[in-house]
């Protein structure tokens, strides 16, 4: 039986580190068994996922071949298993391509802040993620509801999911994950021979240090204002922020909570933060950060293979370590997150569910005030879209329009009321019965047409407002129903006495996503 509360299901894989070297025949056949068991396990979970999240380090070396092999071996099949799921990807430090760096000399000499340098060389930075972006950018599973910036490079942006009343913020925390490239460049160009040892050490430290040096670059990317605007427009939406590195890896200003920093403004709205990178073990618990306001869940490594033994054709023999992934079931109404962890049991060689299930509460309420503008916009657009609302309500497209506000659905008549009162005469009902011979009469009310709906902009609990509206419409409807039946003559009772009258009241949040 379907859940009553809207559920958002996410399949979350992180730190896959897919390597083109896996294509080695012997290794690949071992790997395939592992992957097949994973896919079968996924299928048997029998969950319809809304999103598939890959939170960075998809590739081992950020090479095109890594991604191609990953797509063929894994992603293609997952997307086939869940054709309705949307794909969410963000880069990790391993998704930086060695071939794309053209600004390395300039970077070494750079005296400006990392953000300023990033702003100046933004296009160059895009290039180092080109294989990553190119692999997924044309994938049809990328959500149409994604922001333009996200669709362009898949590096950062947002997805505004009105149906699930959720905003997903996607951030790139790996702009400066160029350590490998730098070292190769430094050595290839013999820079170490031309500089003093002290300076060399300083350069290496400055460029390759990751912990405490990662930046999201939000303050220099103009498009980030679009994200913040969306968050302000839909303050009651569930907000999930995801990036590869946990916050403790960031430079100071991306960690602290001051309004002048953009990331802080995103954090203020964030309910759930999903990060990867640290390859934590399956036992590692979730945490609440930012004074308990954000639920932070870290991912483990999906494909952690042993590197201990001797190399075989450049890679280690196939041996599974601590491999696990998560599925998240988010109740967007109750604001709870259930994280199910699934790990590969190397003793029994099978995927199993980790027995300690976490159900965590999110901090932000979904019943907060919303802007008058937004309400007016919805209301304005609803007025001429009654058919869509009726279709949505009755989950059926085969609805016949009798006139602008009256519809026929199977053996029922539906009156759509775009008013604070019921404007249906008894004779209208009787005439309709004569012509349509219906069994049930529905009257559909939309909350925003009720005068009480003004309270949505000032009330702290929209469910309370809806309840007042419901009581008001119920009262009016019941009087209408009662008047109709109590005024029937003895003869009319035989005709109309057994008709069923039913009221349906629709809250704005249930129909806002109808593209009205």
Partner 1 sequence: MNINTSKNNFGYDNIDIQYGVQIIFSTVPNQKDIDFEKDIEKNYFEDYKGKIDSKEIYLYKPLKFYMLGDYDVCYITLINNFKFSHRLFEPKDKTDNTVYNAHSFQSYSGFALNESDKLKEIFSSTDSTYFVGVINLKLNNGLLIGNGLKYIESVYNYLKTELAEIPFLLTQTFSWFDLSLVVFIDDPKELAAILAKLRFATFKDLKNTNDLKNSLYHSIIKEKKAIKNTSLFADTHTYFGFNEKLISIKGLSNTYIKGFEKHIKKNNIELETEIEWQVKPGHILDLEEILKSHSYLKKYFSFDERKISLGKCDFLLQEISTEILANFHLIRYIHRKQDCNLFLHIRKVRTYVFLNGNNIKSNQVILKKDVFCWDKELDKLAVKSKDFHEIDKKLKTLKISRQVRIKILKIFSNYNNGIQDPIQFPYFLDFTIFIKNLINLINEEYFISNSQVNSIRELEIVLNEHIKVFQEGYNVRFLNGYQFENISDFDLDFNSSIQQLLTSYGTLVYEYGKLFYKEKTNLYGPLIQLNNIDTNSNYRSINYSIHHLTSPEFVFSTLLKEILNHLKIDNKQLKNELEVLYLNLNTFLEVVNESYLDDMWENQLIDFDYLIIDSIRFITTFNCDFSLFEHWFWSYNFQNPSLFDTSGMFNEDHLRKEMLRIMLIKKMFNVHYELNSPIPELYTYWDRHYSKINKISEDIVNAVEQFEFAKIINAIVLNYLDNFKNSFNPNLDVLNYASKMEKLKNISSQVNQKQINKLSFLFNVSTSNSLNILEVEKLIFETLNHHFTENKLKVTLLKRNWKTGSVLNNYNDLNKDILYAIDQTGGVYFYDNDKINSYFKSNAQCLLSLIDFSFIKKKEFILEHRSNE
> Among residues 195, 206, 504, 513, which is the contact residue for partner 1, using CB under 8 A?
504
Range 134-141 contact pairs with CB under 8 angstroms and sequence separation of 24 or more = 134/64, 134/67, 135/64, 135/67, 135/68, 135/70, 135/71, 136/87, 136/89, 139/79, 139/87, 141/52, 141/79, 141/85, 141/86, 141/87
> Among residues 4, 148, 222, 347, which is the contact residue for partner 1, using CB under 8 A?
4
372 sits near partner 1 (criterion: CB under 8 A): no
Among 146-154, 215-223, 404-412, 499-507, the segment contacting partner 1 (CB under 8 A): 499-507
Residues 6+ positions from 516 with CB-CB distance below 8 Å? 378, 381, 382, 385, 388, 389
- Judged on CB neighbours under 10 Å (0-12, 13-18, 19+), 289 is middle
> Among residues 201, 256, 359, 464, which is the contact residue for partner 1, using CB under 8 A?
359
Q: How far is CA 391 from CA 162, 304, 395, 411, in A?
A: 18, 49, 6, 15
> Among residues 76, 102, 350, 475, which is the contact residue for partner 1, using CB under 8 A?
475
Closest among 457, 475, 269 to 379, alpha carbons compared: 457
| Shortest Å distance, C-beta 318 to partner 1 | 39
> Among residues 1, 144, 148, 197, which is the contact residue for partner 1, using CB under 8 A?
1
| Shortest Å distance, C-beta 12 to partner 1 | 19
489 sits near partner 1 (criterion: CB under 8 A): yes
Among 110-118, 264-272, 473-481, 506-514, the segment contacting partner 1 (CB under 8 A): 473-481
Among 21-29, 235-243, 449-457, 479-487, the segment contacting partner 1 (CB under 8 A): 479-487
Residue pair 456/485 in contact by the 8 Å Cβ criterion: no
| Shortest Å distance, C-beta 246 to partner 1 | 27
Q: Which is nearer to partner 1, 194 or 489 (CB)?
A: 489
- SS3 sequence of 49-106: CCEEEEECCCECCCCHHHHHHHHHHHHHHHHHHCCCCEEEEECCHHHCCHHHCCCHHH
488 sits near partner 1 (criterion: CB under 8 A): yes
| Shortest Å distance, C-beta 11 to partner 1 | 19
Q: Which is nearer to partner 1, 261 or 409 (CB)?
A: 409
Q: Which is nearer to partner 1, 283 or 483 (CB)?
A: 483
Which is it for strands 412-417 and 406-409: parallel, antiparallel or unpaired? antiparallel
Euclidean distance between CA atoms 435 and 477, whole angstroms: 23
Degrees, nearest 5: CA angle 479-482-484: 105
43 sits near partner 1 (criterion: CB under 8 A): no
497 sits near partner 1 (criterion: CB under 8 A): yes
338 sits near partner 1 (criterion: CB under 8 A): yes
Residues 6+ positions from 425 with CB-CB distance below 8 Å? none
368 sits near partner 1 (criterion: CB under 8 A): no
| Shortest Å distance, C-beta 471 to partner 1 | 9
Among 135-143, 285-293, 298-306, 500-508, the segment contacting partner 1 (CB under 8 A): 500-508
Residues 6+ positions from 7 with CB-CB distance below 8 Å? 329, 330, 331, 332
426 sits near partner 1 (criterion: CB under 8 A): no
> Among residues 255, 336, 367, 468, which is the contact residue for partner 1, using CB under 8 A?
336
333 sits near partner 1 (criterion: CB under 8 A): yes
291 sits near partner 1 (criterion: CB under 8 A): no
Q: How far is CA 78 from CA 59, 63, 66, 95, 426, in A?
A: 17, 21, 17, 20, 57
> Among residues 71, 286, 288, 501, which is the contact residue for partner 1, using CB under 8 A?
501
474 sits near partner 1 (criterion: CB under 8 A): yes
Degrees, nearest 5: CA angle 313-314-320: 95
Degrees, nearest 5: CA angle 335-263-140: 65
Euclidean distance between CA atoms 187 and 383, whole angstroms: 68
452 sits near partner 1 (criterion: CB under 8 A): no
Q: Which is nearer to partner 1, 421 or 475 (CB)?
A: 475
Residues touching partner 1, count (CB under 8 A): 34
293 sits near partner 1 (criterion: CB under 8 A): no
Q: Which is nearer to partner 1, 5 or 311 (CB)?
A: 5
Residue pair 100/127 in contact by the 8 Å Cβ criterion: yes
| Site residues, partner 1 (CB under 8 A) | 1-5, 331, 333-334, 336, 338, 359, 440, 474-475, 477-479, 482, 485-486, 488-490, 492-494, 497-504
């Amino acid at each position: 039986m379907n859940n009553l509360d809207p559920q958002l299901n996410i399949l979350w894989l992180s730190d896959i580190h897919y390597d083109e070297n896996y294509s080695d025949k012997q290794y690949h056949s071992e790997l395939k068994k592992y992957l097949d068991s994973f896919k079968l396990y996924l299928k048997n979970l029998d969950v319809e996922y809304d999103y598939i999240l890959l939170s960075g380090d998809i590739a081992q070396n950020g090479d095109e071949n890594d991604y191609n092999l990953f797509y063929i071996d894994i992603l293609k099949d997952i997307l086939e298993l869940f054709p309705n799921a949307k794909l969410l990807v963000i880069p990790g430090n391993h998704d930086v391509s060695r071939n794309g760096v053209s600004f390395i000399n300039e970077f070494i000499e750079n005296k400006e802040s990392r953000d300023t340098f990033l702003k100046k060389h933004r296009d160059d930075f895009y290039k180092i993620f080109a294989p990553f972006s190119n692999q997924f950018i044309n994938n049809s599973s990328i959500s149409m509801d994604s922001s333009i910036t996200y669709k362009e490079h898949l590096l950062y942006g947002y997805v505004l999911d009105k149906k699930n009343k959720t905003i997903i913020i996607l951030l790139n925390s790996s702009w400066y994950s160029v350590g490998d490239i730098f070292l190769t460049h430094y050595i290839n160009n013999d820079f170490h021979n031309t500089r003093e040892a002290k300076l060399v050490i300083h350069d290496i430290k400055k460029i390759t240090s990751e912990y405490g040096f990662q930046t999201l670059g939000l303050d220099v990317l103009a498009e980030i204002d679009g994200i913040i605007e969306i968050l302000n427009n839909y303050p009651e939406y569930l907000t999930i922020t995801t990036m590869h590195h946990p916050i403790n890896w960031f430079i100071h200003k991306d960690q602290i909570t001051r309004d002048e920093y953009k990331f802080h403004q995103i954090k203020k709205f964030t309910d759930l933060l999903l990060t990867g990178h640290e390859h934590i073990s399956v036992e590692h618990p979730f945490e609440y950060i930012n004074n308990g306001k954000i639920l932070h869940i870290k991912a483990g490594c999906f494909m952690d293979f042993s590197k201990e033994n001797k190399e075989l054709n450049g890679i280690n023999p196939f041996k599974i370590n601590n491999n696990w992934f998560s599925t998240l079931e988010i109740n967007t109404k109750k604001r709870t997150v259930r994280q199910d962890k699934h790990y590969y049991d190397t003793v029994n060689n099978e995927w199993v569910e980790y027995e300690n299930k976490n159900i965590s509460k999110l901090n932000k309420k979904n019943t907060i005030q919303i802007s008058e503008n937004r309400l007016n916009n919805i209301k304005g657009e609803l007025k001429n879209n009654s058919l869509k609302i009726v279709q949505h309500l009755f989950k059926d497209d085969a609805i016949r329009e009798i006139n602008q506000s009256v519809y026929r659905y199977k053996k029922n008549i539906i009156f759509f009321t775009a008013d604070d009162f019921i404007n249906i005469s008894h004779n209208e009902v009787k005439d309709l019965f004569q012509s349509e011979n219906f069994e049930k009469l529905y009257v559909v009310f939309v909350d925003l047409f009720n005068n009480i709906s003004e309270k949505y902009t000032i009330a702290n609990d929209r469910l309370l407002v809806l309840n007042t509206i419901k009581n008001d419409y119920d009262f009016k409807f019941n009087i209408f129903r009662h008047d109709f039946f109590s005024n029937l003559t003895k003869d009319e009772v035989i005709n109309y006495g057994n008709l069923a009258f039913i009221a349906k009241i629709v809250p704005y949040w249930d129909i806002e996503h109808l593209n009205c």
